[in-house]
């Protein structure tokens, strides 16, 4: 469970998503632009940075909606009213939820207990458009040790999945098992599961047909995913199914050396789609989407050398960076992990799920969710090829421009004095005054609602706008939002 620490006072993040009803000038306190870290290895003199956004160069719709995919905590949904409202406010496209056969079935007496998980599934159904069901079959040990015959377990799991599909028609994906260590032992379970999904789909139950995928590996691994695809290609079942490939990404170093070596190289994920395409093509298999159903920078109980407080901010900036590189690929969708991790608080989205006080990670997701649907070209002059430094992610529609910037450093301490240079604003911004709103996830607070740190009104702009130059400390994030307004220009 998360622990409640400092809470920043301010506007509820729910109000920000809905829009601010009453405008008032807000200015960022001078002290908030300076680091308040107690860490002895404070940042050196800041480096100048510019993020340039060209709003005449559309890059099309985002391939997935930033902030719209959630991997839920297993068996966890009894949250406070504010937490539930915050999650609902994200308007999630998909939530990944968990079911294990023996948790909804009395194995000893061979009787189902489906209703035990109705409330869990109902909660996530209410927060998202569709569900990704991680299905743990318990094939091993129930079949391998003789408690059930394969046919008995098949009938029991078919009926279970059918019941849940009837009650929750938005179940659209079924992910087979979780992080199997042995692909040869995994494949019989996968085959069992796709056959069970086929049987349920044949019932023509409400909602979309269920898609089936795997192998749900703990890392992106060409060896184990390739071994799975070899077994699938060799499978002679005419009704075999592979609708998506799933895996996890924690930037885990598996090639020797320090465990955290890849934390300084989030750009390594940028080639995953092309590698997966090559693996599928080599086996004469059709291209299918990839779901990265868990993503993060802290695998298991790992931590950085900077301590828990700094790690909350590393989590937020690190996930923003990973997802930035997935946004540059087609048919690869990463999921945020998770609401309330049972063992490692630095992964949590909330300081306390009872009170709904957000951690930096959740506030970063809110920033993502505030971006319009169309991406525009943004370039930073201080982002390394490996993905260390200042990022820029820009989106716009005819009446809103939003730019996220952040400084991912892992444990390094380089800070920046950063500005945003916008060119070719939409025509509406040349016809009315412009409300400028800035948000910040600073390193001076571990928890608290996302809130504006500054708001002011400027005169119309017929071409572009250059923001103030502001401090961007290690693993801090900012969001700049411009919208037309009828409010008068703010004296400055």
Same-domain status, 186 and 248:
yes
Residues near 335 by beta carbon (within 8 Å), at least 6 away in sequence: 69, 70, 71, 94, 96, 132, 291, 292, 293, 294, 295
Report yes or no: 355 and 449 within 8 Å, Cβ to Cβ. no
Higher per-residue confidence, 463 vs 414: 414
Same-domain status, 74 and 57:
no
pLDDT at 8 over 50: no
Inside any domain, residue 8: no
Mean pLDDT to the nearest integer, 93-99: 98
pLDDT at 9 over 50: no
pLDDT at 429 over 80: yes
pLDDT at 4 over 50: no
Last residue of a domain, one of 289, 317, 339: 339
Average per-residue pLDDT in the chain? 92
Same-domain status, 126 and 158:
yes
Inside any domain, residue 282: yes
**Sign of torsion over alpha carbons 148, 149, 152, 153:** positive
Inside any domain, residue 51: yes
What residues make up the domain containing 226?
69-339
Phi and psi (nearest 5°) for 287?
-70, 135
Q: Domain total for the chain?
A: 2
Same-domain status, 213 and 126:
yes
Same-domain status, 77 and 46:
no
Query: Does residue 180 have a cis peptide bond before it, meaning omega lies within 30 degrees of 0?
Result: no
Mean pLDDT to the nearest integer, 358-387: 98
Helix (H) or strand (E) holding 142: helix 139-142
Same-domain status, 399 and 276:
no
pLDDT at 10 over 50: no
The whole-angstrom separation of Cα 317 and Cα 121 is 30
Residue 253 pLDDT level (bands cut at 50, 70, 90):
confident
Q: What whole-number percentage of the chain has pLDDT above 70?
A: 91
pLDDT at 17 over 50: no
Same-domain status, 37 and 73:
no
CATH code, domain with 27: 2.60.40.1500
CATH code, domain with 322: 3.20.20.80
Mean pLDDT to the nearest integer, 282-287: 98
pLDDT at 170 over 70: yes
Same-domain status, 111 and 246:
yes
Residues near 341 by beta carbon (within 8 Å), at least 6 away in sequence: 73, 347, 348
Report yes or no: 6 and 359 within 8 Å, Cβ to Cβ. no
- pLDDT of the residue at 11: 37
Same-domain status, 292 and 218:
yes
Condensed to tens digits (0 to 9), the pLDDT of residues 197-208 reads: 999 999 999 999
Same-domain status, 173 and 272:
yes
């Amino acid at each position: 469970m998360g622990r409640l620490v400092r809470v920043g006072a301010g506007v509820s993040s729910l109000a920000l998503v809905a829009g601010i009803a009453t405008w008032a000038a807000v200015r960022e306190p001078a002290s908030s632009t300076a680091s308040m870290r107690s860490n002895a290895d404070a940042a050196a003199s800041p480096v100048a940075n510019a993020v340039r956004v060209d709003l005449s160069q559309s890059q099309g719709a985002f391939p997935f909606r930033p902030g719209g995919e959630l991997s839920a905590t297993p068996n966890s949904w009894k949250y406070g009213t504010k937490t539930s409202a915050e999650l609902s406010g994200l308007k999630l496209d998909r939530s990944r939820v968990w079911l294990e056969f023996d948790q909804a079935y009395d194995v000893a007496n061979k009787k189902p207990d489906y209703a035990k998980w109705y409330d869990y599934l109902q909660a996530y159904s209410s927060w998202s458009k569709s569900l990704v069901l991680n299905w743990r079959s318990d094939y091993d040990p129930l079949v391998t040790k003789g408690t059930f015959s394969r046919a008995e377990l098949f009938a029991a799991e078919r009926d279970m999945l059918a019941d849940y599909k009837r009650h929750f028609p938005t179940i659209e994906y079924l992910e087979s098992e979780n992080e199997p260590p042995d692909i040869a032992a995994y494949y019989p379970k996968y085959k069992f599961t796709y056959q069970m999904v086929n049987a349920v789909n044949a019932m023509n139950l409400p909602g979309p047909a269920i898609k089936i995928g795997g192998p749900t590996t703990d890392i992106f691994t060409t060896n184990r995913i390739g071994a799975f695809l070899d077994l699938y290609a060799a499978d002679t079942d005419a009704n075999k199914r592979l609708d998506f490939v799933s895996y996890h990404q924690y930037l885990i170093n598996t090639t020797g050396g320090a465990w955290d070596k890849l934390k300084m190289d989030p750009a390594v994920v940028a080639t995953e789609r092309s590698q997966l395409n090559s693996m599928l093509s080599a086996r004469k298999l059709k291209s299918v989407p990839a779901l990265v159903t868990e993503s993060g920078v802290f695998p298991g109980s790992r931590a950085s050398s900077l301590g828990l407080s700094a790690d909350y901010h590393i989590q937020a900036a690190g996930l923003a960076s990973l997802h930035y590189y997935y946004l540059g690929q087609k048919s690869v969708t990463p999921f945020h992990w998770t609401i309330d991790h049972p063992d490692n608080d630095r992964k949590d989205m909330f300081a306390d799920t009872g009170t709904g006080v957000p951690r930096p990670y959740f506030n970063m997701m809110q920033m993502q969710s505030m971006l319009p649907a169309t991406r525009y070209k943004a370039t930073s002059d201080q982002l390394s090829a490996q993905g260390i430094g200042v990022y820029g992610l820009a989106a716009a529609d005819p009446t809103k421009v939003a730019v996220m910037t952040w400084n991912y450093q892992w444990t390094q301490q380089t800070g920046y004095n950063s500005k945003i240079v916008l060119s070719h604003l939409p025509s509406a911004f040349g016809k009315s005054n412009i409300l400028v709103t800035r948000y910040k996830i600073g390193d001076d607070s571990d928890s608290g609602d996302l809130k504006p740190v500054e708001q002011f009104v400027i005169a119309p702009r017929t071409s572009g706008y250059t923001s103030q130059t502001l401090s961007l400390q290690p693993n801090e994030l900012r969001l700049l939002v411009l919208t037309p307004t009828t409010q008068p220009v703010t004296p400055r």
